[in-house]
Structures are given as structure tokens and as C-alpha cells.
């Protein structure tokens, strides 16, 4: 049995159980106020923790970003979900993935970096992306398995807000009532779906499934 150095850290009893639970729930850990102790613990014991998750759970402690933008998460090998129980995994619904595409495009590609109001984001999508709305409605309706005629602006606003709540749960955004802010780990959506996001206008028109 390997000896895992992080267990010898005096802070481990206070930090590791909470950190471990969060990682298994799909939370991304980064250097923000609410996660600063966890992040520091990960930086300090990165190699030991990587060995621990591979040995006991057959999953990988992975990271993205660099320096102040660095973030950690658990990833799975090809064709395997490791030994983490399904009840402790976060599965994001497709409609929220589509919201993430739109948020990334608006914030990082189209340059609305000063946008931090949920209501203003909802309004922006409804009024400034009018040309994308038909495709967006069709795609969201397909993701939710409902008739496209049931999609309207109120439903769109709700899906956007619910999506931000999902992103908040896994550490992709900070969310407090009407305020939101993408965190460094939100960049992971582009690493996974960069081709879709970079060609989002055309993708919404063709409505190809994820």
C-alpha cells in the first residue's frame, strides 16, 4: 500500500473530507475566496492526491489553466467512470450545456466582459441575438424533449437562470441573486466543446445533436 503524504498534513482532518466530497460531486476547485483553503491544499499535495485518486477510485485528478487561473477537477479514463458511485457524480443536462455555449460566446468571444447581471444576460440573449433565437429555441426544445412551440422568452429566461445555478454548483461561475461571474474553470467548456462554440451560429442553424 502506498503512503499518501497528504494524510500527514495537520490540516488534512479539517480540509480533506470536504475537498474530497466536492471533487467527487464534480466541483471544480480554483483560487477563489470560497475555495482558497482547498486550492492551497491541492497545490501543496498535488502529486500525492493524484496517486490517491488513481489507486482507490481509478479516476484522474486533472487540472486546467495556469498560475492564478489554474483549476482542478476529477476526470475519467476512456470508457470508464471509475469507482465513484453514480449518486456522487454531476451530470449536466444538455440544455444547460447549450446555455454554457451561449454564455461563453457572449462573454469571451463577443466581448461582453463587463456583463454580470443575470437579468441583463437574459435580456441580451432575447434582444441582441435575435437571429440565433429560432435555432436556439429548436435546440433547447430538442434537449428538453418538448415541442418547439412551447419555447418562449419566459422559458428561455428560466433555462438561462437554471443553467447558471448548475454552473454555480460545479464551480464554473459565482452566482449571488442577480450577480454572476464566470470563474477560471468555466474555460473547461471551451476545451471540451470548442468546435461547437467557435461555430455556434452555424451549429444552431443546422441543429446537429451534441
Q: What is the pLDDT of residues 65-109, one digit of tens each?
A: 999 999 999 998 765 666 676 665 667 899 999 999 999 999 999
Q: What are the residue ranges spanned by the domains of the chain?
A: 5-88, 94-206
pLDDT band at 192 (very low <50, low <70, confident <90, very high): very high
pLDDT score, position 125: 96
Fold: same for 5-88 and 94-206: yes
The answer to whether residue 118 scores a pLDDT higher than 90 is yes
The class (CATH top level) of 5-88 is mainly alpha
pLDDT score, position 91: 76
pLDDT score, position 209: 60
Tell me the three-class secondary structure of the chain, residue by residue: CCCCHHHHCCCHHHHHHHHHHHHHCCCCEECCHHHHHHHHHHHHCHHHHHHHHHHHHCCEEEEECCHHHCEEEEECCCCCCCCCCHHHCCCCCHHHHHHHHHHHHHHHHCCCCCCCEHHHHHHHHHHHCCCCHHHHHHHHHHHHCCCHHHCCHHHHHHHHHHHHHHHHHCCCEEEECCEEEECHHHHHHHHHHHHHHHCHHHHHHHCCCC
Q: What is the pLDDT of residues 13-60, one digit of tens each?
A: 999 999 999 999 999 999 999 999 999 999 999 999 999 999 999 999
pTM score over 0.75:
yes
The class (CATH top level) of 94-206 is mainly alpha
Evaluate whether 166 touches 27 at the Cβ level (below 8 Å): no
Amino acid at each position: 500500500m502506498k503512503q499518501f503524504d497528504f494524510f500527514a498534513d495537520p490540516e488534512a482532518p479539517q480540509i480533506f473530507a470536504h475537498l474530497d466530497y466536492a471533487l467527487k460531486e464534480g466541483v471544480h476547485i480554483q483560487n477563489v475566496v470560497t475555495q482558497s483553503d482547498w486550492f492551497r491544499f491541492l497545490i501543496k499535495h498535488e502529486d500525492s492526491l493524484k496517486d490517491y485518486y488513481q489507486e482507490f477510485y481509478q479516476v484522474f485528478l486533472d487540472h486546467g489553466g495556469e498560475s492564478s487561473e489554474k483549476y482542478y477537477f476529477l476526470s475519467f479514463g476512456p470508457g470508464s467512470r471509475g469507482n465513484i458511485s453514480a449518486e456522487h457524480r454531476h451530470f449536466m443536462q444538455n440544455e444547460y450545456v447549450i446555455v454554457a455555449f451561449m454564455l461563453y460566446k457572449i462573454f469571451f468571444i463577443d466581448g461582453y466582459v463587463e456583463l454580470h447581471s443575470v437579468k441583463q444576460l437574459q435580456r441580451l440573449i432575447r434582444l441582441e441575438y435575435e437571429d440565433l433565437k429560432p435555432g436556439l429555441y429548436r435546440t433547447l426544445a430538442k434537449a428538453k424533449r418538448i415541442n418547439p412551440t412551447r419555447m418562449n422568452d419566459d422559458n428561455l429566461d428560466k433555462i438561462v437562470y437554471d443553467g447558471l445555478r448548475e454552473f454555480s454548483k460545479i464551480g464554473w461561475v459565482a452566482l449571488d441573486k442577480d450577480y454572476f461571474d464566470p470563474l477560471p474553470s468555466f474555460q473547461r467548456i471551451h476545451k471540451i466543446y470548442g468546435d461547437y462554440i467557435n461555430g455556434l451560429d452555424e451549429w444552431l442553424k443546422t441543429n446537429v445533436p451534441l
